[in-house]
Each structure stands twice: as structure tokens, then as C-alpha cells.
Chains A and B, each alone.
Chain A
Amino acid sequence: MRLAAFLLRRLLGLVGVLLGMSVLIFGIIHILPGNVAYAILGEFATPAAVAQLEAKLGLNDPLPMQYWRWLSALLQGDFGTSIVMSRPAASLIAEALGRSAVLAALAFGLVAMGGIGLGLYGATHRGRLADKLLTLLQFVLIAVPEFFWAILAVLIFAAWLNLLPATGYAPLSDGVLAWGSHLLLPVLVLASGLVAHVARLTRSSTIEVLDSRYVLTARARGLGERRVLWRHALPNALLPAITVLAIDAGLLIGGIVVVETVFAYPGLGRLLVYAIERHDLPLLQVGMMVVTAIYAVANFIAELLYAVLNPRIRVAGAAA
């Protein structure tokens, strides 16, 4: 019952966020100079032609009415048409999203596993040389932006060692090796900063938990160090890491735009950049909406996961 109420509340919140964002995205795009009519007709169009097209597309209607038209179409599955490529935005986004999802999922997996693993290692080897070196490395990874690592990786592995392709994408049908070799560098670069971020946080929350009184009590009950770490410390230490992973899912999307551009990887990030450059407003609008939805859903999942791991949220109320 309580879990159902919790779910309902979060779902309502999710819908609210998406609606709010749709207004914001629509608003921002209408503040941008130029409009769809200009974009379609090109820069040499006569004002008369532009006015005619504007009237035809309903661009002279009041903004709320335009918004409502866009939103109701969106809800009915009509994502509009890309002006520049003259293709339905839905299929363009679906293709790009699929490729980006692979990239993001691999990077996110690496962030979660690597970050938590390195954080635990640091916490249990606190103050030793390995911990200090890892700390240094993590700070470097956090401080230096992704595009630097991207360029460096391309220079070393593609241009100099000639081990991996510098840019591009190969579908899985070209073979796992080709597919993987195109993915390896983008994934590593995308994950680099976030791995360090999650590792730092996991390390400090694990240290805090290891110093807690319930861990002292577990040790006083004669439990082995391994059991103390995995069974008593970990479930509590991971809670903050999960919150941060959800935030990082958002950062990951930002990172994807950079990484896809540098590695010429045909994903959603690159599609968005393309839409901005070409003033492809319908495509941009829907693309941004999709990104927002992904972020909101990631947060929703994180909250659910948090509730599952934290009994203080999952089961409330008094038993005695």
C-alpha cells in the first residue's frame, strides 16, 4: 500500500517534470532567431514566400495554440518531420538513439562497476600507496574535460599506434570486432570522468560506513572482515552512490554530445548538434524532449532502486 502510494507519487512527479520541460523546450526554440519557414525556404527566400509558408504552417497562431498542436501530435506519436533531411523525425531519432544507447549503456556499466569497485578498493586500502595513486588519477580524470581525452586517445591509439579506428561506426552485422573497435575509445572516454566521480563518492561513503557504530558492532560480534564489508557495510555505502549514478546519467548525455562529435559517432548527440547547426527546429525539439525523458526516467529508476535498498523508505511505520 505504502509502496503503491510511493510509486504513484513518483510517477505523477515524472509526468509533471516532462510537461514542464516540454513547455520550456518549446519556449526556448521559439525564442531562437528564425523559424521553420526560414529554415525550409533557405536564406534567399522572399519575405512574401516566408509569410505564406508561415501562414500555412500555422506559425502566426498564438504560442499556446502552437504548443498544444505540437504536444498533442507528440502524444499521438507524431514526432514531426526533419526539415533538412525530409524524413520523419521519429525514425531518425530511433536510429540514432539505438546507437547512442549502446554507447551510453556500455559507458554507464563501466561507470557503475568501475566506480564502485575502485571506490571500495580505495576505502578498504585507505591511506596506502595504491589508494593515494588512485586518488591522484581520479582527480586528474575529473579535472580534465572529455574532449581532451578524446583527442589524446585518437592521437595515441589511432594515429600513432594504429590499433583502433579513429572515428565512425560499424554495425554489428560487420562483425563483433569491427563493432567493438569503433566503440572502445568512445566508451572509455565517455566513462573516464564519471568513473572517477563515482569512485570518489563510493570511497568516502564506504569509509563513513566502515567507521560507523554498527560496523564496529558487527566486528565485535566476531564476524570476518569480508562478511562485515559485503553484508554490513556495502548496502549502506551504496545508497549515496546510486543517487550520484542517476545524476551522472544526465552528465553522460552531455558527454555523449561531445564524444559523438569528436569520434564522428552517428548517435543522438551528434544528431542534436546537427539539428542545431542546420536550424532543423522540429528535429531539435523532439530530440531534446527525448533526452529529457531519458534523464527523468533514469532518475525515476534510481529512486526506485534507492527505495529497494533502503528499508527506511521501503517499509515505514512502527512494528513495536
Chain B
Amino acid sequence: MPDAAMSDVVVDGNVLRVEALSVAYPSRDGWLHAVDGVSLSIAPGTVLGLVGESGSGKSTVVLALLGLLGSSARLRAERLEFDGHDLLREAAALRGRRIGVVFQDSAATLNPALTVGTQVVEPMRVHLGTKRALAWQRGIELLAEMGIPRPAEIMRSYPHQLSGGMKQRVGIAAALASEPDLLLLDEPTTALDVTIEAQILSLLDRLRTMRLEGGRRLAMLLVSHNLGIVDRLCDSVSVLYAGRLVESGTTANVLQRPLHPYSKGLLAALPRVDRQHAGRLAPIPGRLPDLWAPDPGCNFRPRCAFASAGCEQPQRVTGDHHKVRCHRADTIVDIPWPIERATAAAQPRSAVPLVEAADLSIRFDSGGWLQRLLGESAGILAVDRVSLTIHSGEVLGLVGESGCGKSTLGRLLLRLLPALDGTLSFAAEPVRAKPDARFRRQAQVVFQNSDTSLNPRQTVGEILGRAIRWFAIANVEAEVMVEVGRLLDLVRLPRSYARRYPHQLSGGEKQRVGIARALAPRPRFVVCDEAVSALDVSVQAAVLNLLRDLRDQLGVAYLFISHDIGVIAHIADRIAVMYRGTIVEEGLADDVLRPPYHPYTELLLSSVPLIGRQRDTDPPPAARPPAAGGCKFADRCRFRLGPLCDSVPPPLQAAGPGHRIRCHIPLPQLAGQPHWLDRGETT
């Protein structure tokens, strides 16, 4: 049974009070219990974080508060109250008016056919009855408050003309247009680059202290899977697992001293830039429980490292300010989540480079044939004279923001795209523009989205068998089956999975199949293109550990492409930082992660929302197009020297053994920068 005791940190004057909220959806297999007895409360001017992985039911809570679950869902609550109004009956009248909401992925939540202004002004016109001209004026002010440059012009633009960060600012402006008391934020920064995320977070932070008309203060519910963001913004945190609250309390308590095993596991699974790299992550084994027949006892029990007798009993919530739903919380209070031990010793790395690229470039033409005919099309140098080497058994991490050309570079190294310029050699032999089967066998790729890269109409065995036959690793059926079994063993999947179809696997398992397929021809080099980006933290840790073990066992070299510098810092031996088609810094992981570093590396590192770090510096936005010929980062650089940076290409400075920085700023000055971990408090 749900406990009402899980609610209110602040007893009085809560703007939102939810007690024992349960939501179930009808499905072919019976009722799917998405949310099971959740209680929350938020006081005006405070921010509550609702943390959980996919399938935890966190977005369902948001839709339930808005009354937008759809008519087929079954909604029950002992109390669902907003400022004295019963949301079960009055949600339709309150949503958009007094409860604002910002959803994930602003590209999909803004209407492509309507101007930004129309969408910002509409809530004012509909809910507040503001006159058109006045509402438009107020919309311009609102966009300016959200930190949007040239707001009057942006009001007349369409969403597709704005960058991702600008779109999310517009989304927040539209949610605030009707001056709500409560703002629901459902993964507001997911899919944004880390520097843009930092800007949106400081904007949201500013809103927290903002006072509404009549001295009201805005309350916020932040739904996120990202613990760093939650730590940055929230006063208190509730952790949701498979529809049930497992822990709640102040942010400091929950994230620094987690009591519930699941919270401990989540924090241990998180790859963090500020933690010693090369250690192993602690994944949470298993997968989300069956939501059709909820376990009356603890539903985390099958995955829990601390499970014991008594876990099968319904769990009571204990604690006053720091509540936890676990009968063993007191006994395990000081025990961390256990970390898997490494399986094999690292192989010695060879001194000869396996992959060697020199001056690789590619240009993407824009415009149609007419522009090309008129010579108007300039095209974009997506990869601009990049040189790099990767040794056998080495992990080169390639990090950068979306659109910097890192995936394109990965494809160039596999010769999946024709290079405009430059040379590529593999195992000391040049690779031709149309490579032979031998190169294809030795150089493989794992993509981000295993949902679309696995054929849904083939079983895992067929998918792997096809790769095995294609590269003539084995041809006789029995041999192929042996090989399939070996691959499944390698990626730690049961051999019985050979008979399953992709849709019967979880996200992490699908990604393991993707890795197994890449390993089928026994490659020496694998490009992992955002290979863990779509996975939940607890699953991502397991896949990262697996990739690391495979490297140690098989001596495979990886180019590991990711936008997440935490993941890169965890897995990479060396790191290359890419910005607008150029590698701006390259070196051993430990060297890149501390000064001297390129100003862009510093920006990336200091933008990461980290647990236990308060930051409020606002990184400067990309304001103008980069000057031709000069440093591509000059327009965003905090340390820009002057016209030199705009007009002269920066030199490659050697900062140490194998550590190179492409910057005009003298090395001693770069070395004199404070460590990014210490920067926040001082500014």
C-alpha cells in the first residue's frame, strides 16, 4: 500500500500536494501500472527534482498533473491538489494558465507552421485576455528575459530558423507567458549540447528567484534522468523506480548520502569527469520489473546488491526529512554499491599506429543545382584537415558538440564517406578510396540507435550469422552457430538470445547485439558512434564496462565518439576535442582534463553539471559567424587575444608528450588557468 507519509518536506503552504497517485494504462496483457502510489509536494519558490530512468513513470506523473493522460488511463489519488484546487476535476482549467509546462525536445514541441511570436503570445491572449499589441510587446520582453538576442526579430521567425537552445528558451517563455505558479519541466535540457544545457540551467536557476506579480513565487517540478542537473537546480529530490518512490529528501542528503540501494546504484553507475578515470563503473544488473504484475514487495529486489530476507514484504517508508522505502536502509547506510571486478588483464599496446589519418577533409555542398551552376554554393568543410593516430588496443575518445563533425570523421576513418582530401592508412598500409573486404573486416562500427540499426525481421542469430558468413569467418551452419555462441558469450548475453527478435530485447541488450555484430569479423578497429548515448545510466555503465573488457581481452582499438565528456573521460586513453571540423586539442586523457587546456575544452568541462558543484557563470553564446581564416572558436572564446585570433589560423602547440593544443594563447597562460573543478565557486 502507498504511504501518505512520503509527502511534504514543507508542511504548510504547498502549492502542489500529491498523495498516493496511481496511474494504470490498459493493454493487451492487462493493466500496466505505470505509477504506483506516488506522493509529492512542492512549496512556492522551491524546486523538486523527480529522478528516474526510462520506464520509471516520471513523465506519466507530469501528464497526470495536467490531466492529459487520455481517456483510457485509470487515474487514482488520495489527493491531487494544486493551490486548493482538485486537479482530478479542474486540471483542464488550470493547465497552461496556472501550471506551465516545458517538454523535452523543443524541436518537436514548437509548432513548425506558426511563428515564435504566435506561440508565445497565444497563452496570454487565451488565458489572460491580453490585447494583441500588448501581448506582442510582452512577448518581446519575455524573450529578452529568457536571454534571446534580437527578440523582436525572433518573434517573427519560425521555429526551424532557431538553434536548439533558442527553441528551448522560446518553449520556456511560452510556458511562462500566462504567469503560472507552477512550472513543470520534463527533461528540459535533454538532447541539448552541454554548453547550451548550462545556459538553460542558469536561466532556470534565475527563474527560481524571480517573483511573480503579487509577490508569488514560482515553484518548479524538474523531471530528469540527469543527476547533475537535478543537483544544480533542485532543493529536494524524489527518486522514482518502476512507478514507485524509493527515496526522497533534500538534494544534498539524497545525492551525497543516498540511502536506498537504487539511488546508490544510480550514483555509482554515473561516469563522471571529476572521478578518477580508468576505474570501473558499477552497473545495476538486470532490467526494469514487469509493470503488469507489480511485486507486492520491493520491486527493485531482483536487481539489488543488498537484497535479503524481508525484501519480499511490502516496504514501508521510514525517516522524517530523508525518507526511504527500504527495510535495510539502516544496515547498509555506509556500504557503497559494489563494483564488478575486471575480467582480464590489459594487453600491451603496440608502438606502431593502427589507424593513421593525415589531413582528412570533407565538404558538404549545400543548395541545389541552380546555385551550384551560379557558383553561389560554398558548402561546409565538415571535417577540416584532421590528422590523428590510433594504436592497437587504444581508446581514442572524440568529444565535441552536435554538428562539430565527429560522426563524419568516424565515417571518414572507415571510408564510409569519400574524403575530399588527405590520406588514411591502416596497419601501415594505405587504404584506398574504395576499400577492399580485408579493410572492411578489420574496421567495424557500432551506431547509437540499435533500434534502427538491427533488422526487426531477423533474429539475433540471423543478424550475427549474416555478418559471420558475409566476412567468411564460417560458412557451414554448425560452425556459424558456434561462432554466434562465441559472440553472445563475448557480450555477456545468454546463448538462447540467438532465437530472439530485436523487439524482445531491452535497450542495453540491443546495443550488446550491435557490439557483437561489429565484433563478428574479428576487427582490430571499431568506431563507436555515440554507442551508449541512448542508454539509461545503469545500463550504460554495463555497456561501457563491456567495451573496456573487450578492449583488454581482444586488443581492439576504438574511436569512441560521444558528446558526453563524462563518458569519454571514463573510457578513453587519449582524448581529441573537436570543434567545427577541427581537432583543437589532443592528448592523454589525464592531460586533456587538466590545465593547460584549450579554451573550448575548458568551456566543455566547466559546463558539465556535476553533483556537488555550484556554478553560475554563463558561457558566452555563439554570437557571430566565425571569421574566415582565423581560429574557429574565437567568437565564443573567453580568452580571445584580439584581431590575431580572428584572422590568423592558430598554431598547434606542444604542451607535453603527445599533448597538442591548437591555440594562439601562449602555453604558460593556458597552464595558469584554474582547474575547471575549482572555477565555479570563485566566479
Give the contacting residue for A311; candidates B68, B112, B174; CB below 8 A. B112
Those of B86-120 within 8 Å (CB) of chain A: 92-97, 100-101, 103, 105, 108-115
Closest to A220 in B: B101
Contact in complex: A320, B95 (CB < 8 Å):
no
CA–CA, A224 and B149, complex, Å: 32
> Which A residues touch B161, using CB under 8 A?
315, 317-320
CA–CA, A216 and B94, complex, Å: 15
> Assuming the A-B contacts A216-B68, A220-B96, A222-B126, are A320 and B157 also in contact, with contact meaning beta carbons closer than 8 angstroms in the complex?
yes
Contact in complex: A309, B66 (CB < 8 Å):
no
Q: Does B276 sit at the interface, judged by CB under 8 A?
A: no
Give the contacting residue for A9; candidates B93, B96, B157, B370; CB below 8 A. B370
Q: Does A219 sit at the interface, judged by CB under 8 A?
A: yes
Q: Does B166 sit at the interface, judged by CB under 8 A?
A: yes
> Assuming the A-B contacts A213-B103, A214-B109, A311-B113, are A222 and B95 also in contact, with contact meaning beta carbons closer than 8 angstroms in the complex?
yes
Give the contacting residue for A320; candidates B92, B108, B163; CB below 8 A. B163
CA–CA, A311 and B115, complex, Å: 9
Those of A176-228 within 8 Å (CB) of chain B: 212-214, 216-224, 227
Q: Does B127 sit at the interface, judged by CB under 8 A?
A: yes
Contact in complex: A220, B154 (CB < 8 Å):
no
Those of B629-655 within 8 Å (CB) of chain A: none
> Assuming the A-B contacts A213-B103, A223-B122, are A318 and B163 also in contact, with contact meaning beta carbons closer than 8 angstroms in the complex?
yes
CA–CA, A31 and B318, complex, Å: 91
Give the contacting residue for B122; candidates A12, A221, A311, A312; CB below 8 A. A221
CA–CA, A236 and B160, complex, Å: 14
Q: Does A310 sit at the interface, judged by CB under 8 A?
A: yes
> Which B residues touch A318, using CB under 8 A?
161-163
Contact in complex: A212, B66 (CB < 8 Å):
no
Contact in complex: A221, B95 (CB < 8 Å):
yes
> Assuming the A-B contacts A312-B158, A318-B161, are A219 and B109 also in contact, with contact meaning beta carbons closer than 8 angstroms in the complex?
no
Contact in complex: B114, A219 (CB < 8 Å):
no
CA–CA, A201 and B676, complex, Å: 55
Contact in complex: A212, B108 (CB < 8 Å):
yes
Q: B145-170 CB contact bits vs A (8 Å, 1 = yes)?
A: 00011100110011011110010000
Q: Does A27 sit at the interface, judged by CB under 8 A?
A: no
> Assuming the A-B contacts A221-B96, A312-B158, A320-B166, are A214 and B123 also in contact, with contact meaning beta carbons closer than 8 angstroms in the complex?
no
Q: Does B658 sit at the interface, judged by CB under 8 A?
A: no
Contact in complex: A311, B127 (CB < 8 Å):
no
Report A268 CB to chain B, min CB distance, Å: 34
Most buried by B among A213, A235, A315, A320: A320
Report A124 CB to chain B, min CB distance, Å: 14
Contact in complex: B112, A217 (CB < 8 Å):
no
> Which B residues touch A232, using CB under 8 A?
111, 114
> Which A residues touch B158, using CB under 8 A?
311-312, 315
Contact in complex: A220, B66 (CB < 8 Å):
yes
CA–CA, A235 and B153, complex, Å: 23
Contact in complex: B92, A214 (CB < 8 Å):
no
CA–CA, A309 and B114, complex, Å: 10
Those of B379-416 within 8 Å (CB) of chain A: none
Q: B345-371 CB contact bits vs A (8 Å, 1 = yes)?
A: 000000000000000000000001011
Q: Does A5 sit at the interface, judged by CB under 8 A?
A: yes
CA–CA, A29 and B123, complex, Å: 63
CA–CA, A221 and B66, complex, Å: 9
In this complex, how many residues of chain B approach chain A with their Cβ under 8 Å: the count is 43
Report A122 CB to chain B, min CB distance, Å: 18
Contact in complex: B162, A320 (CB < 8 Å):
yes
Closest to A224 in B: B126
Contact in complex: B111, A236 (CB < 8 Å):
yes
Report A320 CB to chain B, min CB distance, Å: 5
Report B153 CB to chain A, min CB distance, Å: 6
Q: A285-320 CB contact bits vs B (8 Å, 1 = yes)?
A: 000000000000000000000000111100101111
Give the contacting residue for A236; candidates B113, B122, B127, B163; CB below 8 A. B113
Q: Does B246 sit at the interface, judged by CB under 8 A?
A: no
> Which B residues touch A219, using CB under 8 A?
68, 95
Contact in complex: B111, A222 (CB < 8 Å):
no
Contact in complex: B162, A217 (CB < 8 Å):
no
Those of B56-70 within 8 Å (CB) of chain A: 66, 68
Q: A6-18 CB contact bits vs B (8 Å, 1 = yes)?
A: 0011001000000
Contact in complex: B157, A214 (CB < 8 Å):
no
> Which B residues touch A8, using CB under 8 A?
370
Those of B257-303 within 8 Å (CB) of chain A: none
> Which A residues touch B112, using CB under 8 A?
214, 236, 310-312
> Assuming the A-B contacts A221-B95, A222-B95, A311-B160, are A214 and B153 also in contact, with contact meaning beta carbons closer than 8 angstroms in the complex?
no
Contact in complex: A320, B154 (CB < 8 Å):
yes
Give the contacting residue for A214; candidates B110, B163, B371; CB below 8 A. B110
Closest to B94 in A: A222
Closest to B101 in A: A220
Closest to B369 in A: A9
Q: Does B543 sit at the interface, judged by CB under 8 A?
A: no
> Which A residues touch B149, using CB under 8 A?
320
CA–CA, A218 and B114, complex, Å: 12
Q: Does B219 sit at the interface, judged by CB under 8 A?
A: no
Contact in complex: A220, B95 (CB < 8 Å):
yes
CA–CA, A214 and B174, complex, Å: 12
Q: Does B571 sit at the interface, judged by CB under 8 A?
A: no
Report B396 CB to chain A, min CB distance, Å: 32
Contact in complex: B103, A217 (CB < 8 Å):
yes
> Which B residues touch A312, using CB under 8 A?
112, 158, 160
Most buried by A among B96, B115, B162: B96
CA–CA, A219 and B95, complex, Å: 8
7 contacts between A and B (CB under 8 A): A217-B103, A220-B95, A221-B122, A235-B114, A236-B112, A310-B113, A320-B163
Known: A236-B112, A318-B162. 20 other contacts (CB 8 A): A5-B371, A214-B112, A216-B103, A216-B109, A217-B171, A220-B66, A220-B101, A221-B95, A221-B96, A221-B101, A221-B174, A221-B175, A221-B178, A222-B127, A231-B114, A236-B113, A310-B113, A311-B113, A320-B148, A320-B163
Closest 4 CB pairs of A and B: A222-B96, A221-B96, A235-B113, A213-B108
